[in-house]
Amino acid sequence: MPARPAAVQAAAGLSCKSQIKELEEEMMNKTIREIVDKALGGGEIGAAELRALFAVDYLSEESYLIQYASRKMSDGACKGKAEVHAQVGLNSGSCPRDCQFCSFAAMNKIFTSSKVRPLEEIIESCLNFEAGGANAIYLMATATYKFADFLKVGREVKQALKTAVPLIANVGDFDEDEARALKKSGFDGIYHAVRLGEGVITKIDPRKRLQTIDLAAKAGLKVGTCLEPVGPEHTLEELVEKTLITRDMKPAYSGAGRRVNIPGSPLAAHGSLSYAQMAPILAAVRLAVGYDVVGNCTHEPNKIGAMAGASLLWAEVGSNPRDTSESTVRGWTVKNTQEVLTEAGWEVLEGPSVMFGASA
Ligand code: SF4
């Protein structure tokens, strides 16, 4: 709780406690309004200001103010055109990196045998996504998938695609040569994040994640990222720290996604956040990263998030770290993801992703 503003202290002579409370609330509101106005005016908000945004009650007046401002900033940043990116999962199996939130983590014992999708099926899924209007196509593999195989699939998919839709890699950490090889194989960018709890609930050093992001940028790959996977257990300090990391990355997009609990995972005991609780969080991230970051993502596709400024939603097929089935059963197609956006009042971009560098 911040110190009482001077004007409130001066009013302490008032005998009526409710009057003091009212005045105090007014000053607090003003503070949130000031932070929001600073961000909307193009100013960079600091860690303490971002912490104050994350601290608001999700059903409060300030929460709606933050969400309104986020939507306005998102609208300006992407010129009113939201996007749908589509991901194809290439394999499933047990992964020794043991990220506790992931269904592939060995410790979660969901996938005990390895499966790899046939190339023809992968290409078919990518072409379906492209024909359906996806603005970018992602290939996702677990950290155990052979890198050389991933490059090969990437080359084949790139060759098969009929438009300039960007091809994005969602893979484990890689070195400098591998970063260059991704670029050479036809990838335009990567998705990568320093996840909440990285190094504590994962077996990956956060510095390794940052190094991969740096190498990707040096190889000419654009990077999309996100504050994820957010759960009720995360402190305001960690939300701030990880959000500011996304801003420093100068990404194609940032945003916030909630943790989907994997049955049996130790994290399931924390419960999960509702879309209503996630809305001011993704909105605060939007305000923190500023207009230069074109996109603001969330998952799963939901209208509350889209209303609050999420301008990037996901369609997915194949294996997925938030799903316990080999082929995701959550069922978001490009079409119904676009509908979520239009229901929330967005226009949807046609053609290659502006977030990944195509001109509007
Ligand atoms: S998130 Fe990636 S690295 Fe971590 S357990 Fe899942 S597949 Fe492995």
Residues with CB under 6 A from ligand 1: 95, 97-99, 102, 104-105, 142-143, 172, 202, 321
Q: Whose CA is nearest to atom 7 of ligand 1?
A: 142
Between helices 61-77 and 275-289, what is the axis angle to 10°? Answer: 50
What gap in Å lies between CA 139 and CA 150, rounded to an integer? 9
- Predicted confidence at residue 98, as pLDDT, reads 92
Q: Which of 90, 94, 97 to mutate to test the pocket of ligand 1 (most atoms within 8 A of CB)?
A: 97
| Range 107-118 average pLDDT | 89
Task: Give the separation between CA 77 and CA 33, rounded to whole angstroms.
Answer: 20
Q: What is the pLDDT of residues 160-207, one digit of tens each?
A: 999 999 999 999 999 999 999 999 999 999 999 999 999 999 999 999
- The distance from CA 109 to its chain's CA centroid, rounded to whole angstroms, is 26
Q: How far apart are the first and last CA of the chain?
A: 44
More confident residue, 330 or 51: 51
- The mean pLDDT of 68-89, rounded to a whole number, is 97
Strands annotated E in the chain: 81-89, 91-92, 115-116, 136-140, 167-170, 189-191, 222-224, 227-230, 253-258, 295-297, 312-318, 347-348
Closest CA to 117 of 287, 335, 327: 327
Residue 270 sits at φ, ψ, to 5 deg, of -80, -15
Q: β-strands 295-297, 227-230: how paired?
A: unpaired
pLDDT for res 250: 97
CA 191–ligand 1 middle distance (angstroms) = 13
Tell how far the Cα of 109 is from the centroid of ligand 1, in angstroms.
13
Ligand 1 centroid, distance to 208 Cα (angstroms): 14
| Residue 103 CA, ligand 1 centroid: distance in Å | 8
Q: What is the pLDDT of residue 3?
A: 39
Q: Poorest-confidence range of 25-39, 97-111, 152-166, 238-252?
A: 25-39
Q: Looking at residues 82-88, what average pLDDT do you find?
A: 97
| Burial annotation 278-297 (CB, 10 A radius, 16+ → b, else e) | bbbbbbbbbbbbbeebbbbb
Residue 113, pLDDT score: 84
Average confidence score pLDDT of the chain: 91
Q: What's the pLDDT score for residue 143?
A: 84
Domains of the chain: 75-348 (3.20.20.70)
For the stretch 233-243, pLDDT in tens is 999 999 999 99
In testing the pocket of ligand 1, which one of 99, 144, 146, 205 has its CB within 8 Å of the most ligand atoms?
99
Q: Minimal CA–CA distance to 291: which of 16, 26, 40, 32?
A: 40
Q: Is the pLDDT of residue 324 over 50?
A: yes
Mutate to test the pocket of ligand 1, among 142, 150, 204 (most ligand atoms within 8 A of CB): 142
**Confidence class for position 325, pLDDT limits 50, 70, 90:** confident
Q: Which atom of ligand 1 is nearest to the CA of 104?
A: 6
* pLDDT > 70: percent of the chain: 90
Q: What is the pLDDT of residue 166?
A: 98
Distances 116 to 26, 119, 124, 308, 320 between C-alpha atoms, Å: 58, 9, 15, 37, 13
Residue 141 C-alpha from the chain's centroid: 18
The predicted-structure confidence for 263-311, as pLDDT tens digits, reads as follows 889 999 999 999 999 999 999 999 999 999 999 999 999 999 999 999 9
Q: What is the pLDDT at residue 6?
A: 41
What's the 210 CA to ligand 1 centre distance in angstroms? 16
Centre of ligand 1 to C-alpha 141, Å, is 9
